[in-house]
Every structure is written in structure tokens, then in C-alpha cells.
Structure 1
Amino acid sequence: MEFLYIWINEYHGIKKVGLNISNEYRFHFNELERQLSITNSENFIPSFFADSISSLTAIIGENGSGKTTLLRYIVEYLSDGINNHKDEQSIVVFKRNNKIHYFSHFSITITSPNNSIKLEKINDNNKIRDYATTVFLSNTFNPTSYNSHDYLNGQLGKTKNLSTQYLLYADYQNRTGQDAFNTALTYQQRFSSFAAEELIRIVRLLRWLNYKEAKGHAFPVKPPEYLNISLVFSENEEFKSELEKIARAAEKYFNITRNKKNKFLIQVFLASVYHFINEIKFISGPEIIADTYGKVPSLILEYFENNEYKNHPENSVVPEMHDIFYSILRKDQFSILNDRISQMQAFLELLGGFVHTRSVKVSKANNLISVVLTKANKADLEKLVEEYYKTERIAGYVDFYFSHQSEGESSLSSGEYAMLTVFARLNSMKVESRKPLLILMDEAELALHPQWQKEFVYHFVDFISERFASYQVQIIITAHSPFILSDIPPHCVVLLKRGNHHTVVVDSLESNKETFGANIHELFTDSFFLQDGLMGEFSRRKIQDLIKEIGTRDFISLEEFENRFKKRINIIGEPFIKSKILELVADKSDISVIDQIITQRNEEIELLQQIKKQKGNDKNRTS
């Protein structure tokens, strides 16, 4: 199934808007005559984007023009959620099994050139919702609606909701089985579940990539080479000296100066102890920790001083760490955190096995490991992340981040990470076989550097066509970027503007420019994207203030020119504007100021002459 056209009578501030979302046909609804006309798009090219992509439509609009609202309308229309809207004056046209159908609550007349295109009416729009799987993607997060029940309360029905706003709740609820709207939950608890799931989704994407690349299919975006796992030591001034003693005693006790991987595991153990003490403090309060739990550091130190390290056949320090946990922290007085201790032990055990594989490199400071993703067992890595995030609720002691470099800070740009998360979320969803997909993506260019915006459509289409090659896919994206528009043919674009407090669909750019392959700078200059030209608002106002100030003067002395105006004029980058402002100054100045301006102009002319001479010499040498 493919959606072709929607007529919206009224919905959240959008009134009487016709939305062409077909690349193959053009529709126009005459409300007065209740007549829907349909023609073939002259420039339609079958399989233009990919064999599996039936159409790709970009809804481009300025802020506040209603792009997101239109997507929301489509999602709600197709969902069987509890609040799907009842716009009884709407018209929906779609194509299924090579036949075009339409649904309308009222009678309309259908026209086409020579009556060449036939439309069949359906009487039950509920059937439409079963014809395709709707997918909603968005990276936006609105904290003002963070506690809204909108997303988990069934409003979007069976829609595959991959928006950040939804996943912040759904990931927690799916991981814990608890109500995500429980007011006692902290942001940390919700975000930690979301962070864990996002990381796992990316790991699963990388597993799929390894499989595809082994078959000769390259991923459109360079995947990260490493997952770096670094340690976070919680600040704890009360036990600072004791914890430093524990660190020194642990090094001496384990006596593993030659084994970097075991050194790292000891650091993990110490970080978990720091975490444990902070956890107790958070739950019990400073008074109780000082009286009861304050004994933990001294008990651990006492263990190191009074016991000898037992070598283990697997050459790992983890079994000994288990003994320490059991002999000290499993006592009745610490029973309040027994579950958490068990989780720490389980994580240490998994990490111990993982660290001793050949896919792991240890940093010089022994506080970070780099997992070589091409060598790592992704299933084991996924289990490791899962186990850690069971313990990470209040204060984490391990940080996971993807990178192109080992032992360094994350070298993934925000754009690369945004692209990875989009692909990872799409890769993670379960969809019915043979059922068409309608993918709706809001603010496609969000968080992307201009270079990534230029490449977004290419990479997105490449991924969809590879990952969902056996599906029929329709894509609708919203954006406000000429970088996106430059990759979309004009018959695949819906332009929105805000006019008289309602949304208006614009047939084309005011300059009548074509979009596909168009010069991005020229698209920028169109007033559809930027009012008041390409100049930044701050500089525009500064220049306006400068011109106004010069205009208030009857006379500008040399001293005032140099102290008040000269530097402000010199920093202007547009030569024509700078020249005109200097003319304004000259008109209100004496000869001394004009001489200064002439000197400056002569220097500029001399520089141009030198450039001209150099170009002439270069030309003579090549001829």
C-alpha cells in the first residue's frame, strides 16, 4: 500500500490543506465543487530512489508551519489508538495492488484527463490501518511534555514508535515491567534504561552490519571501530584517604604488575566499591553510613592485610573479588543492598571473561579498555551491557561510548551518532513479513552538521533499501534544510508556509528554482528558507545601528572616526556594504578622514593588482 493524497479539513490549527504525498500522481481538491482531480506526474521515474522504495516525499517548511502536525495527522489516521481523530471532512487516497482507492465521508466527483485514471471508493477506513505498518521516527525531545501519557497510553495504537520521547518511557517499562509514569522514579532511572537500550540497539546494528559486510555490502556510514569502556570513580571526600589506601593495598595483594587486563579488573573492583559506598549513603543517609556502613572501607582494607591471594587456574582476579564481596559485604548488616551486590558480582564475572578475550585492548592508565568491534562477540557484548545497566541506577561507575579510536575520547560526531541511532532503531523493530512499510521521520536533519545534511538522503535511502529490501517502503520526511531539498526532485516535495495563522501549501519556490541537484547556496537565497537575506541577525542589527548612528551626525572628525567608527566598519565582510558605509562617513567628514578612506582604498587596490599580476605570471608559465 502507498498513500497518495490527504485532504485535511481541520486538525490542530491546520485547515483545508491538500497534501500530495505521491511521487507518481498529482491531486487537487476543489472544496467548493467537491471535485478531486488527478493527473500523472510528468517527471515520475519508477524505482528512482530504490527498487524497494515506492516513493519518498519531503515536507519542507519553516518553523511553525505545521510539518510535525501533518506527520502526527498521518500517524493518528493510520493508528487504531484510543484518540485517533475523527475528521469527517477528510479525504484519503491510497494505492494497493495496483489499484487506486479513496475514502471520504461525503460524496465527491473524480476527474482525470480523458478519464484515464480510475479510483475506487471504499466504505470502511478501518481497513486502511491493516494494509501497512506505520513507523514514526523522531530525535526531538520536549521536556515540557515529559510526563505526558500521550505515548504509552495507547494513543498511537500499533504504530512502531521509534521517537526519543516515546523510548524514554518505553525502554524503562520494557526493561523493568514497572509503570514508567511512576512519579517516584528519577530522571536517572528513566534515562539509564534508555541509554542501555540505545547502546544495545547500536550493538545489534553492528552485528547485522558484520553479517552484511561479510557478504560484500558496505554500510553507508563508517561504523565505529571501538566500544570504549572507561571507569568513573565517584567523589567521596569522607572516605578519600581510606579508599586511596585500599587502592594501594589491592595492587600489593593481587601482585599482578605484569598483567594489564587484571589491573583493569582491579580498577573496576575499586570503582564498584566507591559506587557501593555512595549507594549506601544515598539510601541510608549520612548519619547511618557514618555509624554502620562507614566500616566498609576498613573491613576491605583489613581483608587485604590479613589474607593471601589465591591463584586461580583461569588467571583472573574475578573469583577472588567474589570472595571479598561475600566475606565482607554479604553480612546481615548490609542486607539492604544484597540484590545490588549480586548484580555487581554478575557484572564483574561477565566483564572478567570478556576482558581476557583477544578483542580487548587495555589503556596505559589501566582505567579504560577498548573493545575491537570487528573481533568482539556481539552477543557477549550485549549481555555485558545488559548486566551493567541492572546495577547502574543512582551513580554509575562504568561509561560506555563508541569511537573510531582506542583509548581516546569519543571521536564520533553528534551527526554520526544521530545517524547510527536512527539506523539502530529501524534495525531493532520487528515487522510483519510482506506487509508494506510507511516510514515517517520528523526533523530529519536534526543534530546533523551541514555535511551530514548533504549526505543524509543518500545514506538513509541506501540503508532502507538494504535493510528492508524485501518490503515495499514509502518514506515521508519533514525538514527545513536546503541541503535535504537539493536531493529531492520537485514533484516529491511539499512546501509549507505559515500564512494568516494557518498552514499554506506552496506549489514551488518563489524563484521557481528546480530542487534536485540545485546549488545549495541558491536554494538558501530563496525567501522560502531565509527572510532578510543570508546575513546573520546579530550582524544585521549591528550594521543597522552603525548606519543609524552615522546618520545622526552632522560632522565626523578624524578622532571620532578612528575611535568610534573605523574598527566597526573594518570588520564588515561584505565589500559593497563596507564601501557604502565609508561613503556615508566621507560625506560628513573633513579632508583628513577622506584621506584615511582613500589610503585604505588604495591599499585594497594595490592588493588586487598584486593578485592580478600573480595570475598573469601563472598563465604565462603554463602557456
Structure 2
Amino acid sequence: MELLYIYIKQYKSISKIGINLSNEFKFQFDENENELIVSRAEHYISEFFGANITNLTAIIGENGAGKTTVLRYIIECLSGGIHNHHDENSIVVFRKGTQIFYFSTREININLSSGISKLKRVLNTEDIKYSAITIFLSNTFDPTSYYTNDYLHGQLGETKNLSSQYLLYADYQNRTGEDAFRTNLTYEQRFSAFAAEEMIRMVRLLRWVGQKEAKGVPFPVNPPSYLNISLIFNENEEYKSILKKLQNASESYFNVRKSERNKFLINAFIASISYILNEIKFIVGEDIIKSTHESVPKRVLNYLNTHKYRDTTDKNSIVPEIHDIFYSILREDEYGILNKTISAIQGFLEGLDKFVHGRNINVLRESSLISIELPKANKKDLENLIEEYYEAKGISSYVDFFFSHSPGTNSSLSSGEYALLLIFSRLNSVKIDSKNPFIILIDEAELALHPQWQKQFIYHFVDFIETRFTNHKVQIILTAHSPFILSDLPSNCIVLLKKKDGKTIISDSLQSVKETFGANIHELFTDAFFLQDGLMGEFSRKKISDLIHEIREENRISLEDFESKFKNRIEIIGEQFLKAKILELVAEKSDVQLIDRIIDRRNSEIEVLRQIRNRKKDD
């Protein structure tokens, strides 16, 4: 199914607007004549975005114009969610195969241009609801009421909801099987589940990418190949001495001179003990709890000095023996103060052990960091390790997980890289149970992306969709603010929303250009649709405006006044024409001495131009 047109009679703050979602047809509903006019769009190109992408529409508009509201209306139309909008006079036009259908609760007149086949009316929204798999994706966190239906009532009917708000709740249920929407869950429980699932989604994406690239199918963006795990040690001077003794005793006890992998596990063991010590500063007024935490390194040191352990090789793990050391501490902990903390540490070290002694693992930087080559890692073990990491309180205090493009570095991905990969990873996580077409709806697609990536987003995104969902027809509808998105789309693939007299209206085209595809980005920026007062930042505009006002207020400007009050403020202006005009304004109020200074400056600029001209003549 492909959604072609929606007429919104009344929905929240939007009324009487028609949204064209087809690049092949143009629809216009005349409210007064009760007539839907259908014509062919100019310059239609079949399979323009890809063999399996039926269309891509961008809903672009000013802040508050209603982009997200339109997207939610579409979601409700497609999903038949629990709380329907009850817009009884709405019109929905969609295509299944070669037949175009329309849904309307009332009789309407259909006016077709020549060559367009007759539209068939349907009376049941179920025909819309079950004809496509609807996917809603949003990276924004919407601080809406806890009880808002968008996020707490399942998947919005048949929609697969991939919004951050929804996943924050649903990921807990996915992991535990418990009701995620009850109110007594803590923030930590929700966040840990969400963070773990988000990382697992990214790992699965990157593993899939690695497999595709191994077969010669490149991924549209440069994906990180490694998950680095770095150890964090307590920097408290008070504990440095005992931790150093513990380090030396552990290495001697386990005899790990030839085993970098076991050295890493020892360092993880020491880091976990430093975490236990670090917890002391968060304990208020409980001397017995403080003393129990503080005694841990001494008890471990005593164990290492009074027990013997057989020699180990690279193939043998030291983690079972570390477990025994921890058990000896727990036996002396008569109040069970350390039970949960040590149990969490043991579970995580066990998962870590599987990786340290697996293949494709690099141990680096004095055995305090390991790099896991994602495409070659054991999927189940890696996902279990991530779950252990987020499940246990405090692990993030002594271990850091981060994706990287190279092994052995603390350089993580930028927030923009994460934002881009999250879009792909969430879509990649969708379970496909049928061959129904997809309708993908994305809110604020370019959010957190660098302008260079905004420029590349459509190119990479359609490439990913075409590769990942080869066997499905896909329609894409997204909202955006960016003129970079606009320049990648023909004008018949764009819905422009504006606010006029407090109402949302549809604008057919930009004021300065009729065609958007391949349009100059500066022209799109300077169009009043995006910026009402030019390209200059508001802070600089105000500063320059104040400068001009001050100059105009002066009766006379001496050389001394110019040097102390105006020179530096003029020199930092990057727009040369504007700078020259301000200097002319200064000259009008200056004495001869200052005018000579300005002339000298202009002569220097002219001399530079002469040199360039002469060089070109010689060439």
C-alpha cells in the first residue's frame, strides 16, 4: 500500500488542509464544492528513490507549524490506535497494487484528469490499517504526560513504535516479560533496560553491516568496527597504596607474566574493588557499612598471601579463582552488606571472561582496555555481556563501553554518529513477519546531525532502505527543518507548512525558487520560509546593529576614539562589504588623521588585489 493523500478537516490545532504524499498525482479537495480534484504531477519519475521505494515525502515547516501533529494524524489513520481522532470528515486516498482507493464517511465528487483510472471508495478503515506495516521513529524525548496515549497504549494499533519515549518503557518489558507500564518501576530500571537494548540494537546493526561489507555490499556511512571496553580505576590518593599492593600480589598469585588477557581480567578485578571503595563516599552515617567496604582490599590481600594457585596459561581463565576470592569475603560478611554488589561484579566478570579468551580480541594499553571486533564477535555472548553491564548497579563506575572506529583508543563516536546509527539500528531491529509494504514515518530526521551529514542523509538513508528491505515496497514520510533535506527532493515530494493568523496552511512552493531539487543551499536558506531576516546569527546581528547605532550617535570620531571604541569591533566582522560600509560611516565623522588611516588600509587591500592580478597576467 502507498498513502497518496490525506485531507484533515479538524485535528488538534489543524483544520481544513490537504497533505499530498504522492509524487505521481496531485490531489486538491474543494470544501465548498465537496469535490476531490485529481491530476498528474509534473515531472514524475518512476523509481526515482530506488527500485523498492515508492516515494519519499518531506513535511517541512516553521517551528510550531504542525509538522509533528500531521505525522501523528497519519499514524492514527494508519494504525487505528485505541484513541482514534474521530475526524469524521477526513479523506484518505491510498493505492494497493494498481488500484487507487479513497476512504470517506460522506459522499464526495471525484474530478479526474484524463488518463487517471477511477478511484474506488472503501468504507472501513481496516482496509487501510492492515495493508501496510507502519513504522514510527523519533529520536527526540518528548516530556509528555505519563498517560499520553501515544506512548503508553501499545504500538499505536498496528504501528511499530520506535520512538525514544515508547522504547524507554517497552524495552523493560522486552527484557523481563514484566508489565513495563506500571508506575512503580524506578527510573534506573527503565533507563538500564533502554540503554542495554539500544546498545544491543546497534551491535546487531554493526554485525549485519560487517557481514554485508564482507560480501562486497558497502554500508552508506562509515560504521565503527569495534566495541571497546575500558577499565576505570579509583583515583583517590587514600586508596592508591593498598590497590597497588593488591595489583602486585594478584599478578604474582596468578603468575600471569605471559598472559595479557588474564592481566586484563586482573585489572578488571582490581577496578571492581576500587569501585567498592569508591562507594564509601556515598554512605552516610553507617560505620559498619563503611568498615565492611573498607576491609575488602585487606581481606583480598590476606587471601592472596595465604593461599596458593597453580600456574596458568593463556588458555586457562582466572575468573573461577576470582570468584573463590570473593566468596571468601562474603563468608566473613555476616550482615550480607556486600551480597548484591559482589554478585553483580561476579556476573559481569564471567561474561567478560568469555570475550577475553575468545577470538578476535585485542588487549591494549597496559592491559586496561580490550577491543572487540564486532563482525566476528560471538553474538549471544556479546549481548549477554551488554545486558550484565546495564543490569548491575555500579558497573559503569569501573568499566566503560564505547564504540570506536579503531582498536586501542579512547576515541568514541560523536553524538551525531550515534544519532545517525540509532536511526539505522532501530529500523534494522524491526521484525518482519509478512511481505506487506512498509510506511516509515520519521520525526525530525536530521536532529543532532552535522550539516555535512544533513546534506548526505537522504542519499544514505534511501541506500540503507533499499538494501535492508529489498523484498518490501517502502514509502517514507519524514519531518525536517533542514534546507539540506529540501535540496535533495523534487518540489512535488515536499509539503511546506506555515502559520498564518494562528492557523496552519500549506504553501505550494518556496518564495524564491519553484524547484527545490539540486537548488543552491544558500538560496534555500535565505528564502523567507526558513529565515525571515537573512543568514546572520542573531547575536552578531544585534552587536553590529548596536555598533552602527553608536557610530551614528557620535558627533565626531577621533583616531583615539576609533582605536579604543570601534576598531576591534569592526575588524572582527567577517562580511567584507558590511565592514567597508561601516568604515565609510566612521570616515564621515572622522578627522583627516583617521581618514588617512582608513585610506592606508584600503590601499593595502588594493595592493593585494594588484599582486593577484599581475600574477594571473603572468600565468
TM-score by length of 1: 0.93
Is 1:518 the equivalent of 2:481? no
Partner of 1:333, secondary structure, is: coil
Which residue number corresponds to residue 490 of structure 2? 489
Contact 1:242/1:297 (8 A) holds in 2? yes
Tell me, in whole angstroms, the C-alpha distance in 1 between the residues paired with 2:125 and 2:137.
24
| Cα distance change of structure 1 residues 571 and 295 upon mapping to structure 2, 3 Å threshold | closer
| Equivalent-residue separation in structure 2 for 1:253 and 1:271 (angstroms) | 17
Alpha-carbon distance in 2 for matches of 1:268, 1:344: 10
Match of 1:350 in 2: 351
Match of 2:159 in 1: 159
Match of 1:439 in 2: 440
Listed one character per residue, the Cα deviations across residues 245-302 of structure 1 (whole Å, up to 9, x for unaligned) are: 3233223322313321111100111222334456698689743413544433322121
CA distance in 2, matches of 1:393, 1:75: 40
Match in the other structure for 1:172: 172
In the alignment, the residues of structure 2 paired with residue 296 and residue 393 of structure 1 have an alpha-carbon distance, to the nearest angstrom, of 16
User: Residue 260 of structure 2 corresponds to which residue in structure 1?
Assistant: 260
Q: Following the alignment from structure 1 to structure 2, what is the Cα–Cα distance between the partners of residues 579 and 141?
A: 46
Q: Deviations over 1:501-527 (max 9, x none)?
A: 121111001013411122222222222
1:28 Cα offset (Å): 0.5
Equivalence map 1:183-262=2 (5 Å): 185-233=185-233, 241-262=241-262
Read off the aligned partner of 1:353 and give its amino acid letter.
K
Alignment CA distance shift 1:112-1:172 (3 Å)? same
User: Counterpart in 1 of 2:273?
Assistant: 273
Residue matched to 2:36: 36
SS of alignment partner, residue 301 of structure 1: helix
**Partner Cα distance (1:125, 1:148) in 2:** 23
Closer, same or farther in 2 for the Cα pair 1:81/1:259, shift >3 Å?
same
Contact 1:405–1:411, Cα closer than 8 Å, also in 2:
no
Offset, 1:37: 0.3
Report the more deviating stretch, 392-401 or 451-460.
392-401
2: CA distance, partners of 1:236 / 1:222? 39
Gaps of 5+ in 1: none
- Per-residue deviation at 1:424? 1.0
How far 1:107 moved relative to its partner?
2.1
Q: Which SS does the other structure have where 1:382 is aligned?
A: helix
User: 1:18: how far off?
Assistant: 0.7
- The answer to whether 1:23 aligns with 2:3 is no
Quick one: distance in 1 between partners of 2:603 and 2:527?
36
Distance (Å, rounded) in 2 between the aligned partners of 1:273 and 1:385: 21
Cα distance change on mapping 1:180 and 1:250 into 2, 3 Å: same
> Are the structure 2 counterparts of residues 188 and 548 from structure 1 closer, same or farther at C-alpha, using a change threshold of 3 Å?
same
- C-alpha distance in 2 between matches for 1:163 and 1:16: 28
One-letter code aligned to 1:535: M
Cα distance in structure 1, aligned partners of 2:177 and 2:236: 33
Alignment of 1:209-608 (within 5 A): 209-233=209-233, 241-276=241-276, 286-312=286-312, 314-329=315-330, 333=334, 335=336, 338=339, 341-392=342-393, 396-608=397-609
1:82–1:155 Cα contact (<8 Å) kept: no
Task: Percent identity, please.
Answer: 60
Decide whether aligned partners of structure 1 residues 153 and 285 sit closer, same or farther in structure 2, where only a CA change above 3 A counts. Answer: farther
Question: Greater CA deviation, 280-289 or 127-136?
Answer: 280-289
**C-alpha separation between the residues in 2 aligned to 1:110 and 1:76?**
25
Does the 8 Å contact 1:189/1:393 carry over to 2? no
Q: Would the aligned equivalents of 2:254 and 2:309 in 1 still touch at CA under 8 Å?
A: yes
Q: Structure 1 187/471 Cα, relative in aligned 2: closer, same or farther at 3 Å?
A: same
Return 313-322 or 330-339, whichever deviates more.
330-339
Residue in 2 aligned with 1:136? 136
User: Would the aligned equivalents of 1:234 and 1:395 in 2 still touch at CA under 8 Å?
Assistant: no
Out of 454-463 and 303-312, give the one that drifted further. 303-312
User: Gapped runs of 5+ residues in structure 2?
Assistant: none
Q: Which moved more, 1:143-152 or 1:65-74?
A: 143-152
Change (3 A) 1:532 1:36: same
Aligned residues: 618
Q: Which amino acid aligns with 1:471?
A: H
> Which residue of the partner structure matches residue 83 of structure 1?
83
Q: Is the contact made by 2:283 and 2:290 (CA closer than 8 Å) also made in structure 1?
A: no
Q: Would you say the 8 A contact 1:219–1:463 is kept in 2?
A: yes
Identify if the C-alpha distance between structure 1 residues 278 and 572 changes in structure 2 by more than 3 Å, giving closer, same or farther.
closer
TM-score computed with the length of structure 2 as normaliser: 0.94
Q: Structure 2: how far apart are the matches of 1:340 and 1:147?
A: 35
CA distance, structure 2, for counterparts of residue 263 and residue 200 of structure 1: 27
- Which letter maps to 1:15? S
Residues 444 and 378 from structure 1, CA distance in 2 versus in 1: closer, same or farther, beyond 3 angstroms? Answer: same
DSSP-derived class of the 2:334 partner: helix
Deviation, 1:373, is 2.6
Cα deviation per residue 1:69-106 (whole Å; 9 max; x = unaligned)? 11111112222322221111211111112111111122
Match of 2:106, SS?
coil
Amino acid at match of 2:175: R
Q: Could you tell me how far 1:615 is from its partner in structure 2?
A: 1.9
What is the deviation of 1:372?
A: 2.2
* SS state at 1:71 partner: helix
Q: Deviations over 1:490-545 (max 9, x none)?
A: 11111111221121111001013411122222222222121111111111111111
Contact 1:34 1:109 in 2 (8 A): yes
Which stretch has the larger CA shift, 264-273 or 249-258? 249-258
Provide the rounded CA distance (Å) in 1 between the counterparts of 2:282 and 2:330: 17
Task: Output one character per residue of 1:22-56: Cα deviation in whole Å (capped at 9) or x when no partner.
Answer: 11110001111111100111211111111111111
Q: Match of 1:247, as an amino acid?
A: Q
Q: Mean alpha-carbon deviation: is it higher for 541-550 or for 242-251?
A: 242-251
The residue identity in structure 2 corresponding to 1:532 is: D
Mapped partners of 1:68, 1:234: distance in 2: 46
Contact 2:39 2:113 (8 Å CA) reproduced:
yes
CA contact (8 A) 2:292 2:337 kept: no
Q: Which residue of 2 aligns with 1:53?
A: 53
